[in-house]
Amino acid sequence: MFSFVQLPRSIGAVPAPVVVRLRRVDTGRGREELYRNQLRALLTELAHRARIESITASSALEGIVVPDKIRAAQIIDNKVPALRNRSEQEFAGYRAALDYLFTEDWRPFNVGLLLHLHKLLFAQTAGGGGAFKTSDNLVVDRSPDGHIEVRFVPVPAKDTEHITAELIERFNEAVATDEHHPLLLIGLLVLDVLIVHPFDDGNGRVVRALTNALLEGAGYGVARYVSLEQLIAASADDYYAALLASPHGWHDEAHDPWPWLSYFVDLVASAYDVFESRAASVRATGTKQDRVRDYVRHHAPSLFRIADIRVALPGISDQTIRLVLDAMKAEQIIAPDGTGRAALWRRLPGP
């Protein structure tokens, strides 16, 4: 809440490096529309890949992993008859929350939406979700030797509901005035919700899913095509360092949001860099066979099945995939491990 209580002082003068990255984001936003018109097949493919990466990475950040990649893909596609354990249940929950935000009209943004996302996240688990925390919590670091260090103290449980409601109201008012860059307002909201820590569990996942939707609602649709969650996982140390630095003094209206805002703006700018790089690559060498070859060489697991490629590259036929695999086998880039539909392929050591 207090980031928005202090507006515009909490933002103040935007640091020059952040201004540069905001310009980069806005340039990427303009090009995004161009790619939507010219490369629709590519965007369908990128959206499918980003969905898988987002569900997998956001869950993994909380230690929730489905080790079997084939089964993970089946859960993402909602094609398993039953979920076997809590990890699979919460994995499926993030899929449900993300799909709701990308397929339904979730607006307006209010407390009800926040609670609904939490309910979807834990809909498959015993006890479920969709309610604010009932006891006070702490955000801590646990070292390997068992030492616990408090990162920050969230809002007490008794104050959580009304502070969350006021935070969302102030955010919506700030967006409506159009006096600050929308990325900075979304970044402030993310920071404040994580400091409030409104739920007993699932705060990070709810906020990461919501971030995608708020960005798209503000006209920045890159999170649909490039997984922000995957980029966060790849920069996890910086992510947690920023979240550790900015809450100090929050309860006394004396915190510095810029460590987090700088990271957040850089995250979105990096997503646009990745998006344009992939789009430019396809425009230059955009055949389906090229995309299969690129996936096998740079993105597939070291052991993979045709089904993995089919999931990662929708719209490409099995016949095309097999043609590429046969060619790469002849070039001694990959080798088969078994026969038939369930056969695995293995990447060979390269020069």
Cα–Cα dist 205/98, whole Å: 10
| SS3 of residue 79 by DSSP | coil
Domain spanning 288-347: CATH 3.40.50.720: no
Q: Specify the amino acid at residue 168.
A: I
**Per-residue model confidence (pLDDT) at position 309:** 87
Please tell me the predicted confidence (pLDDT) of residue 23.
Answer: 95
Q: Residue 256: its pLDDT value, please?
A: 92
pLDDT greater than 90 at residue 284: no
pLDDT band at 174 (very low <50, low <70, confident <90, very high): very high
State the span(s) of the chain assigned CATH 1.10.10.10: 288-347
| Interaxial angle between packed helices 182-196 and 203-217, expressed in degrees from 0 to 180 and rounded to the nearest 10 | 160
What are the start-end ranges of the E strands in 25-147? 139-142
Residue ranges of the chain assigned to CATH 1.10.3290.10: 2-284
Angle at 158 between CA 157 and CA 163, to 5 degrees: 85
From residue 212, alpha-carbon distances to 145, 186, 229, 237, 329 in Å are 36, 10, 9, 21, 39
pLDDT tens digit sequence for 46-80: 898 899 999 999 999 999 999 998 899 999 999 99
* Mean pLDDT computed over 305-313: 83
Give pLDDT, residue 281.
64
Measured between alpha carbons, how far is 56 from 59 in angstroms, rounded to an integer? 5
Mean pLDDT of 117-136: 95
Mean per-residue pLDDT of the chain: 90
pLDDT band at 33, cuts 50/70/90? Answer: confident
Which H helix or E strand runs over 45?
Answer: helix 40-60
pLDDT of residue 341: 65
Determine the pLDDT at residue 79: 92
State yes or no: pLDDT of 141 exceeds 80: no
Per-residue pLDDT for 157 more than 80?
Answer: yes
176-192 pLDDT per residue, tens: 999 999 999 999 999 99
- 109 vs 309, more confident: 109
Question: What are 177's two structure tokens?
Answer: 């005035």
pLDDT of residue 35: 81
Residue 87's pLDDT band, with cuts at 50, 70 and 90, is very high
**Residue 282: predicted pLDDT:** 60
Threshold 0.85, pTM exceeds: no
Q: Are 19 and 262 in contact (CB under 8 A)?
A: no
Residue 337 has pLDDT above 90, yes or no: no
Contacts of 92 (CB under 8 A, 6+ apart): 75, 78, 83, 124
CATH superfamily of 2-284: Fido-like domain (1.10.3290.10)
What is the per-residue pLDDT for 16? Answer: 95
* The pLDDT of residue 286 is above 60: no
Poorest-pLDDT segment among 82-91, 144-153, 161-170, 254-263: 144-153
Closest Cα to residue 190, out of 156, 226, 229, 158?
229
Question: In the predicted model, what is the mean pLDDT of residues 302-318?
Answer: 83
Residues 190-242 have pLDDT tens digits of: 999 999 999 999 999 999 999 999 999 999 999 999 999 999 999 999 999 99
